[in-house]
Amino acid sequence: MTSLAYTRTRRSVGEQAVRYGLFAAAAVSILTTVLIVLSLLRETIAFFGDVPVGDFLFGTKWTPLLAGDQQSFGVIPLLTGTLYLTAIGLVVAIPLGLLAAIYLSEYAPRRVRKVVKPVLELLAGVPTIVFGYFALVFFTPEVLRGVFGVEVNQFNALSAGVILGLLVLPTIASVAEDALSAVPASLREGAFGLGASKLQVSLRVVFPAALSGVVAALILGASRAVGETVIILVAGGQVARLGLDPTVGYQSMAAFIAATSRGDIPTGSIKYETIFVVGMALFVMTLALNSLSIRLVNRYRQVYE
């Protein structure tokens, strides 16, 4: 009988090679993050060589494309623009999304679920440019000005914000619905057994039990809204301004990045650097939001699985 010892066959060498190859593939994902951070960091540091950090963080005028005295690098307008548009979007998406989630999880009969869930998934699959088109070409002229008779500019926060909410609605609805469905049936049965109505069970038993997952859904939605570019680029205009007037346009951080990089900006110029420093700010914001959301999701999954 031949020995059972290891022999250096072509196959065993192949096995080792496969192992290293697969690890190398997995390392590409690490490489991606490293490159993202490097590219952002390098230009951000260069930027702060020319512009004082304080001016950037606390300045209230963002006009990097103007020349001479008019040029200003205060990021606050971009920040407030982003947050304002996100807020409008969330005002639309959160109540509608949560209600849809509760309906799908607690009330909807199977036949209805079979129809509604695919529709939500369809909505989630619509490319953002389509939403942008819809906001500019239809929502602003025909709904806002037409149906509601509101005096808005062609580019306005209301249109961009509401459509942004429509974009984010399916995300919030499906993640929240996952969280609500994960609540074990025994909790509901116990409450029903005590004589509670469906409304009470849904709102006072199931919803609080799924709270961390629901909050994760909201944060995920917010993160998507913050990072969204095209809707705001198309329907929100290109002027970075302070203020809370919903009838005029605002520029978000992501929209600024997209708008600026379309021009032929020389590498290493200060305008080039603005793309990265704003990108860095955006990256940090969404990273924080996403990490928080992921941690909450893992927490509620652990509890129930």
Partner 1 sequence: MSRSGDDPLPDKLTSRPGADPKTPSEGRRFEPSHAPAGNGAIAAAEPIFDVEDVSVFYGEHRAVRDISMRIHRNEITALIGPSGCGKSTFIRCLNRMNDLIPTARVEGRVVYHEEDLYDDRIDPVQVRKRIGMVFQKPNPFPKSIYDNIAFGPRVIGMKGDMDEIVESALRRAALWDETKDRLKTNAFGMSGGQQQRLCIARALATEPDVLLMDEPCSALDPISTGRIEDLMMELKENYSIVIVTHNMQQAARVSDMTAFFTVELDDAAKHRTGHVVEYDVTDKIFTNPEDKRTEDYVTGKFG
Partner 2 sequence: MTGAQIAARARTRTSVLPRPSTGSRIADLAFRLVMYLSIAVGFIGLGAILFDVARDGLPRLSMDFLTNFPSRIIPERSGIQSALVGTLYLMLICAVLVVPLGVATAVYLEEYADRRKWFNRLIEVNIQNLAAVPSVVYGILGLAFIVRGPLSMGRVLLAGGITLSLLVLPVVIIVAREAIRAVPPSIREGSLALGATQWQTIWKQVLPGSIAGIATGVILALSRAIGETAPLLIIGAAVSPRFNPSGLFDSFTALPIQIFSWTTDADREFVSAAAGAILVLMVLLVLMNSIAIFLRNRYEQKW
Stretch that binds partner 1, among 6-14, 164-172, 202-210, 289-297 (CB under 8 A): 6-14
Q: Is 67 in the site for partner 1 (CB under 8 A)?
A: no
Build a one-symbol-per-residue string for 180-219: x at contacts with partner 1 by CB under 8 A, - elsewhere: ----------------------------------------
Torsion angle, alpha carbons of 282, 169, 132, 128, to 10: 70
Q: Is 10 in the site for partner 1 (CB under 8 A)?
A: no
Give residues with Cβ within 8 angstroms of 210, minimum separation 6: 176, 179, 180, 182, 183, 300
Stretch that binds partner 2, among 65-73, 80-88, 174-182, 190-198 (CB under 8 A): 190-198
Q: Is 47 in the site for partner 2 (CB under 8 A)?
A: no
Stretch that binds partner 1, among 1-9, 47-55, 102-110, 270-278 (CB under 8 A): 1-9
Structure tokens at 55: 């001016």
What are the beta bridge partners of residue 62?
A: 73
Least distance in angstroms from the C-beta of 162 to partner 2: 10
Give the CB-side neighbour count of residue 243, counting CA atoms within 13 A. 13
Q: Which of 92, 136, 298 is nearest to 232 (CA)?
A: 136
Least distance in angstroms from the C-beta of 176 to partner 2: 12
Give residues with Cβ within 8 angstroms of 231, minimum separation 6: 128, 131, 132, 135, 160, 163, 164, 167
User: Segment 227-256, which members bind partner 2 (CB under 8 A)?
Assistant: 227-230, 233-234, 254
Build a one-symbol-per-residue string for 25-44: x at contacts with partner 2 by CB under 8 A, - elsewhere: xxxxxx-xx-xx--xx--x-
- Among partner 1, partner 2, none, the one that 1 touches (CB under a kind-dependent 5 to 8 A) is partner 1
Angle at 244 between CA 242 and CA 247, to 5 degrees: 110
CA pair distance 98, 158, nearest whole angstrom: 21
Q: Is 5 in the site for partner 1 (CB under 8 A)?
A: yes
Note the residues at the interface with partner 1 (CB under 8 A): 1, 3-7, 12
